[in-house]
Amino acid sequence: MFPPEILFAYLAAVLLVVVSPGPDNILAVSRGLSQGPMAGALSSLGAGLGILVHTVAATLGLALLLQTSAVAFWVVKGVGAAYLLWLGYKAITSRNLITFQPAQRQSLKRVFSTGLLSNVLNPKPGLFVVAFIPQFTSPLRGSVPVQMLAYGAIFAVLTALTFSLLACFASQLSAWLTKRPRAVAAINVSAGLTFIAAGLSVLALDRRGPA
């Protein structure tokens, strides 16, 4: 069902996508910086589960609905963009996306849910999944839905593992950043601007897929 050469090409493509800067890995790195490897891993796990949600939706045809129904697409796009813009606004104004003050840290449950929602509410991963994964499937190799789910699971696992590693490395910088509040403030603003840019890019989406 998964010829080695196709699987290798898929893994290489997924890794390139996963390491590309975006709101999900920014979240994971931010949590690793401010709250340590466990928080970073939970944020990463949330992002990975979000990929699975998009994969199941694509397999069931829900992503196709977003491509064909203007109303459904605009609703999902509006909610996703608003959530990303809100995360950006909070990061810039509250400066607590990355914080070393215990009272300002988020609960691990909230860290996980934010990582999950930032992915699930963003239609770009869903449109990417429905445009990307089918290129590696073939009816000649068995059930296409099963292939899509398997490829989606691989995508999710690589996302969670790679983001967790990034967050773990980031956590090593926490001692250095604790003594540099201006650097922490600048990172918060940069992260907030990244979320705002991601939200605006979602608003610019059309139903053909991610830009």
The CB-based long-range contact list for 141-149 (8 Å cut-off, 24+ gap) reads 141/1, 141/2, 141/3, 142/1, 145/59, 146/1, 147/1, 147/2, 148/55, 148/58, 148/59, 149/55, 149/56, 149/59
Rounded CA separation 94/206 (Å): 32
Cα of first residue to Cα of last residue in the chain, in angstroms, is: 30
Q: pLDDT tens for the chain, 211 residues: list them.
A: 678 888 888 888 888 888 777 788 888 888 888 888 999 999 999 999 999 999 998 888 765 665 667 776 777 678 777 877 887 888 788 766 666 665 567 889 999 999 999 888 887 787 778 778 887 888 888 888 888 899 999 999 999 999 999 888 888 877 677 777 787 788 778 878 887 887 787 677 665 554 4
Q: What is the pLDDT of residue 22?
A: 79
Q: What is the pTM of this model?
A: 0.73
Q: What is the pLDDT of residue 139?
A: 82
Q: Residue 176: exposed, middle, or buried by beta-carbon count in 10 A (0-12, 13-18, 19+)?
A: exposed
State the greatest distance between any 2 C-alpha atoms of the chain, in Å, as a whole number. Answer: 59
Q: What is the pLDDT of residue 195?
A: 77
Q: What is the pLDDT of residue 211?
A: 46
Rounded CA separation 49/165 (Å): 17
